[in-house]
Amino acid sequence: MTFLHTRIQSLSWMGMLRVGTALLSGSMLLSLGKEYAFFYGKMPLIDSDLLQLGKTTPITLIQIDTFVYFVYILCCLFLLMGFVTKVSTGILLLLHAGIFTSLPEYSYGADYFINILLFYCLIFPTQKVDSLDNYFFKHQTPAKLTIQRCLSILRIHLALVYFFSGADKALGGDWWNGEALWKALHLPYLTSSIFTTQIDQLPILFFQSTGVLVLLLELTYPINLFLKRTRSIYLYFILSMHLGIALFMNLWLFSSIMIFFNAICWFSQGRDASNMPSFFLYKSNPASSTSPCKQEQPS
Amino acid sequence: MFYKHTFIAIAMVLHIGCIILFNTLSMQQSIKLLQTSANQSDTTDRMGRFDSLLLRPVFRWYTHLSGTECLYGFFAPKVGSQYVVQFKLYDRYKRLLTIRQGPHIQQAESIIRYSRLLDQCEAFLPHDQQGNERQQRYVSALLHNLAISIAKDSSSARFVLCEVYVSHISGIKSRTAQLADYKLIHQQMISR
């Protein structure tokens, strides 16, 4: 763990954002295997002209053939390495939007969150740190204010995500009495085959209390994550929630994206930590002498 | 430098403002769904004020590419039902050849996207809203396409009967032996 922690600390925060986004974008396409052709190929299950009748998005639908597939993966690799970063990110964003989010009939939360991460990789100066672009062109390190602004935008965005998600859930009564959680865990296409019988044996109080816990976690996210005292334990609750979603509902990619999004916002800020005020820092182990994070002096 | 900082500050505020705007409108939609019909006119008027902004091409491109139009009401305000479609393949003499539950997909991500497609079958549920007939015709066309694609696997299949079922999960307090009940909401015969 110390070795991993040290390696992570040696990366910049923006480098981690860029690398993680590239990996998740590539995973999105690769996770479909050959079945991408059923939805986004040249000979899909549903005729693309018909699907475009119901289209409400402005971007043109892009169908995946061998060339588009190759360009998509290549752009993910370039983004991963930070090579011609802005160009590859721009092309990847357009491809992703044209493939995965142009048809709402096939889209779900993971597609939109990848879209968001790609957009932030495009507008943030991710090419200036820990990248091949920086190696060849020797960019100036982004100013402390720039890094603070970028991180602030991400954190505010994530806080709004959870707040509105919780507020919308709180409007209905089902999340307060456990019915919503019970139903969500028994949906025919989102049921985990491993835990079905175990879930059915759990008492009603478990579903009621977990449903209320999910509501409270999401509604109080903006408060608890911006307060240093509650941040650590709260973050582990949030990550546990997403791990539970992955295990019990088979939403592995979506959960990975949300765990990454939370980690990039609130966990180690890497090499940039020494340039940041303490408000932005995740409180790392003060006993670690190799950590470049600021350490609070005992009173 | 001052202008640069000012521009960045304004851009940040507008970006966050877009996120708040879309999600506030989404919550209004949720309230509308939960309210009785007598009070729905108030929320409709408030939403209409933003149409002129939301439909502008520049705004639509920006919100789509930046992801700010994404709504975060997952399983909210209530968990929606899912729909299962069964395809019965018949030969030219109307003899049953096989029953298919859908296309041959195995990847978890593919299953999620297929279930998202089937969520369109909500149009076949009884609704009081206008424009539902148009949506039903659209979904019927989707099912027609889907049935033809599935029937391609069987060379002797001439007719396909699409049966759309809504999955109803029994309440947490009842916990009957049969947790999920499937109710037929739509049938459609397609000929190749």
* Contact of B146 with B84, CB cutoff 8 Å: no
User: So what's the pLDDT on residue A276?
Assistant: 40
- Work out the minimum CA distance from A10 to partner chain B, whole angstroms: 29
Nearest CA in chain A to B152: A45
Helix boundaries (H) for A139-227: 144-171, 174-177, 179-184, 196-201, 204-219, 221-226
Per the listing, tokens 């919503």 go with A180
Which among B75, B109, B149 has CB closest to A253?
B109
SS (H, E, C) A29-54: HHCCHHHHHHHHCCCCCCCHHHHHHC
What's residue B137's pLDDT?
A: 92
Q: Is A221 on the interface with B (CB under 8 A)?
A: no
Predicted local distance difference test score (pLDDT) of residue A54: 67
Please, what sign has the CA dihedral across residues B148, B154, B158, B163?
A: negative
Tell me whether residues A45 and B60 touch, CB distance under 8 A. no
Nearest CA in chain B to A206: B172
CA–CA dist A186, A249 (Å, integer): 9
A112 and B CB contact within 8 Å: yes
Residue A141 sits at the chain B interface (C-beta within 8 Å): no
Q: Mean pLDDT over all residues of chain A?
A: 84
* Helices and strands, number each (H, E), in chain B: 6, 4
Q: Tokens 């040696």 label which residue?
A: A10
As given in the structure block, the two tokens for residue A144 are: 């402390």
pLDDT at A82: 94
Inter-chain CB proximity B117 and A156 less than 8 Å? no
pLDDT the model gives residue A140: 81
How many pairs of residues across A and B have Cβ atoms under 8 Å apart? Answer: 179
What is the per-residue pLDDT for A106?
92
- Are the C-beta atoms of residues A280 and A270 closer than 8 Å to each other? no
Of A149, A160, A171, Cβ closest to residue B23:
A160
Could you give phi then psi for residue A168, rounded to 5 degrees? -65, -40
pLDDT tens string A225-281: 888 888 888 999 999 999 999 998 889 999 999 999 999 998 755 444 444 444 444
The pLDDT, as a whole number, for residue A293 is: 35
Alpha carbon distance A72, A96 (integer Å): 8
Helix (H, G, I), strand (E, B) or coil at B164: strand
Quote the pLDDT of residue B30: 85
In angstroms, the separation between the Cα of residue A150 and the nearest Cα of chain B is 10
Instruction: Name the minimum distance, in Å, from the CA of A131 to any CA of chain B.
Output: 23
Tokens of A75: 């752009």
Mutate to test the interface with A, among B8, B35, B63, B79 (most CBs of A within 10 A): B79
Smallest CA–CA separation between A228 and chain B, in Å? 23
Interface with B, mutate which of A40, A171, A250, A252 (most B CBs under 10 A): A171
Q: Residues with Cβ < 8 Å from B69, sequence gap 6 or more?
A: B18, B22, B60, B63
- Minimum CA–CA partner of B78 in chain A: A172
Q: What is the mean pLDDT of each run of 10 residues along chain B (192 residues)?
A: 83 91 87 65 52 78 89 84 94 93 92 94 75 86 94 91 90 67 92 87
Q: What is the pLDDT of residue B175?
A: 65
Residues A125, A82 contacting (CB under 8 angstroms): no
Given this model, what pLDDT does residue B181 score?
83
* Closest-CA residue of chain A to B70: A112
Residues 6+ apart with CB under 8 A from A227: none
Distance of CA B179 to the CA centre of its chain: 24
| pTM confidence score | 0.88
Q: How far is CA A229 from CA A219, A232, A272, B95, in A?
A: 18, 7, 22, 69
Would you give per-residue pLDDT tens digits along chain A (299 residues)? 454 454 455 567 889 999 999 999 999 999 999 999 999 998 899 998 888 886 777 888 888 999 999 999 999 999 999 999 999 999 999 999 999 999 889 999 999 999 999 999 999 999 988 899 988 888 888 888 888 889 999 999 999 999 999 999 998 888 999 999 988 988 888 877 666 677 778 888 999 999 999 999 999 999 988 888 888 889 999 999 999 999 988 899 999 999 999 999 987 554 444 444 444 444 333 333 333 333 333 33
Q: Which residues of A touch B19 (CB under 8 A)?
A: 157, 160
